[in-house]
């Protein structure tokens, strides 16, 4: 019997990037034909962010590898501001890795559409949520393997697998698009505009933010200072 790996964490790897804070400043200065030093460029990036002159931020590009459950990837792919390449269940046998909610994951949904809040579940709810996730994952994986053993095509056998199955994908986006993603998918304390992201995609956003700001620390400093609103 196949051993199933149950996880509750998301992983993000910064695979590649092009450009820095200096790249942003250089792109902005081409319009006026000026040049600047580090101090001047810091002020320029502040002005660009404050006044939402966004195109110079598009000159920096990132590529991340994200590993997360399918239900998180679906939320991510709603952002039509990036390029995606995902693991294909048509071309390879998938890995038996499934998500389950830990006790720290809020379980009770309170309110109405557009105004939900979430609260921690009680002990019984926590055990039920974890148990049902694991039970259905085992059942679905057994069915998947059974069909593969009978010679059924991978693209058909995969249909029984739930959205708790982990997937991996590369996402390539410029810095302006990344700011847009972060503004929507992280309910940050410095955000001027309220947002209500899924907890698991917020975990992804936090990791992307931490890795991306190492490349462009000045741009991210001003992103934070001006309310984390995409320029």
Is position 230 within any domain? no
Q: Residue 75: which CATH number?
A: 3.30.1360.170
pLDDT band at 33 (very low <50, low <70, confident <90, very high): low
Residue 146, in any domain of the structure: no
The average pLDDT across 45-69 equals 97
Segment 202-226 shows an average pLDDT of 98
Residue 66: which domain range?
5-101+162-225
Of 191, 6, 167, which Cα lies nearest the Cα of 90? 167
The answer to whether the CB of 43 falls within 8 A of the CB of 89 is: no
Does residue 76 fall inside a structural domain?
yes
112 inside domain: no
Mean pLDDT along residues 208-227: 98
pLDDT at 37 > cutoff 90: no
| Domain assignment present for 107 | no
The torsion defined by the Cα of 134, 140, 141 and 147, in degrees rounded to 10, comes to 170
Average pLDDT of the residues in 150-170: 98
* Catalytically annotated residue among 50, 80, 158, 185: 185
Domain membership flag for residue 75: yes
* pLDDT at res. 111: 80
The answer to whether residue 153 is domain-embedded is no
In a domain, 119, yes or no: no
Domain count, the chain: 1
Query: How would DSSP label each residue in 152-172?
Result: --HHHHGGG--TTBEEEEEEE
Mean pLDDT of 139-149: 97
Q: How far apart are CA 51 and CA 106, in angstroms?
A: 37
CB atoms within 10 A of CB 20: 16
The residue among 96 and 119 whose pLDDT is bigger is 96
For this structure, is 185 an active site residue? Answer: yes
Q: What is the mean pLDDT of the chain?
A: 94
DSSP string, 178-210: HHHHHHHH---TT-SS-----HHHHHHHHHHHH
Task: Calculate the alpha carbon distances from 56 to 17, 29, 124, 226 in Å.
Answer: 16, 9, 52, 17
**Beta partners for residue 50, in sequence order:** none
Residues 149-160: what's their mean pLDDT? 97
Strand partners of residue 77: none
């Amino acid at each position: 019997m196949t051993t199933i790996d149950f996880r509750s964490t998301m992983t993000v790897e910064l695979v590649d990037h092009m450009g820095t804070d200096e790249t942003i400043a250089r792109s902005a200065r081409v319009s006026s034909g000026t040049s600047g030093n580090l101090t001047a460029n810091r002020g320029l990036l502040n002005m660009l962010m404050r006044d939402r002159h966004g195109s110079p931020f598009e000159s920096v590009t990132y590529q991340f590898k994200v590993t997360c459950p399918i239900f998180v990837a679906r939320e991510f792919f709603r952002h039509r501001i990036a390029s995606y390449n995902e693991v294909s269940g048509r071309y390879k046998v998938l890995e038996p890795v499934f998500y389950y909610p830990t006790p720290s994951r809020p379980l009770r949904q309170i309110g109405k559409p557009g105004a939900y809040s979430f609260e921690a579940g009680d002990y019984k709810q926590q055990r039920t949520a974890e148990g049902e996730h694991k039970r259905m994952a085992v059942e679905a994986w057994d069915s998947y393997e059974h069909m593969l053993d009978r010679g059924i095509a991978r693209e058909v056998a995969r249909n029984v697998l739930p959205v708790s199955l982990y997937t991996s994908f590369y996402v390539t986006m410029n810095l302006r698009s990344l700011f847009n993603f972060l503004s929507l998918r992280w309910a940050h304390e410095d955000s001027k505009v309220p947002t209500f992201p899924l907890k698991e995609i917020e975990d992804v956003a936090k990791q992307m933010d931490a890795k991306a700001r190492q490349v462009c620390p000045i741009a991210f400093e001003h992103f934070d200072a001006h309310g984390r609103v995409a320029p």
